[in-house]
Amino acid sequence: MKLRVLGCSGGIGGNLRTTSFLLDRDVLIDAGTGVGELALSELVAIEHIFVTHSHLDHIACIPLLLDSVGLLRDRPLTVYASEETLDILKQHIFNWKIWPDFSVIPNAQHPVMRYQPIKLGETVVLNGRKITAIPANHTVPAVGYHLDSGNASLVFSGDTTTNDALWKVVNEIKNLRYLVIETAFPDSEKDLAIISKHLCPCLLGEELTKLKLDAEVFITHLKPGEVELTMREIDNLASGSHPVMLLNNQEFNLQE
């Protein structure tokens, strides 16, 4: 069970790609612009997409992925998300105005895409891999995901601000090895972080005091042009977790 970072930026430009992770060969966790790094053969192999929330930087490549390889597949690609997020995708993306409705292409009996609701706390098991929706606190309905191989776990916060419910769940994961958590803005933009329900370094520091387990902490969703400043502020946190910046193409092996 390996997780590869396709994109982990809060924006684009140069080599920056927005949020997406490839689990083994067949599962995406979010589908931001990082998906565009995959070869056509890799895109065809994707069977499942787990979406944290409906914001464009996390879903941008779902429509293009379906259009590129949907008819090359012999079964539908499954999109997992909360009922609220799926409703947003249906109403605002796959509505025949922004993009065709691939849940009825080529026909409703044999579609390219199918929707699968996932509830908070629900676990989907795919060939022994457990993927569980966990709490997030954002401006739209949102979740994070807990990935568990049985041997080790990784938690991805998704987009979130301060969130006691997250830590209650995380601190019960006995095999937690990695925590990937967002920090979108520097402290000078704390007001913006609060309004947009993201984290900044001082808020991150408060949140990490709630982590009771020993895990490696990685920072994602840094905004372009503010990466170095934000990471300097995170480095100065009085925290025992020593967070480091997540990188494109970084891999996590949860099987070892």
CATH placement of domain 2-253:
3.60.15.10
Confidence tier at 256 by pLDDT (50, 70, 90): confident
pLDDT digits (tens, 9 = 90+) for 175-187: 999 999 999 999 9
User: Residue 219: what pLDDT?
Assistant: 98
- Is the model's pLDDT at 255 over the cut of 90? no
- Is the model's pLDDT at 78 over the cut of 80? yes
Note the pTM of the prediction, 2 decimals: 0.97
| SS3 letters across the chain | CEEEEEECECCCECCECECEEEECCCEEEEECHHHHHCCHHHHHCCCEEECCCCCHHHHCHHHHHHHHHHHHCCCCEEEEECHHHHHHHHHHCCCCCCCCCCCCCEECCEECEEEEECCCCCEEEECCEEEEEEECCCCCCCEEEEEECCCCEEEECCCCCCCHHHHHHHCCCCCEEEEEEECCCCHHHHHHHHHCCCCCHHHHHHHHCCCCCCCEEEEECECCCCHHHHHHHHHCCCCCCCCEECCCCCEEECCC
User: Residue 242: what pLDDT?
Assistant: 87
pLDDT digits (tens, 9 = 90+) for 117-174: 999 999 999 999 999 999 999 999 999 999 999 999 999 999 999 999 999 999 999 9
pLDDT digits (tens, 9 = 90+) for 218-240: 999 999 999 999 999 999 986 66
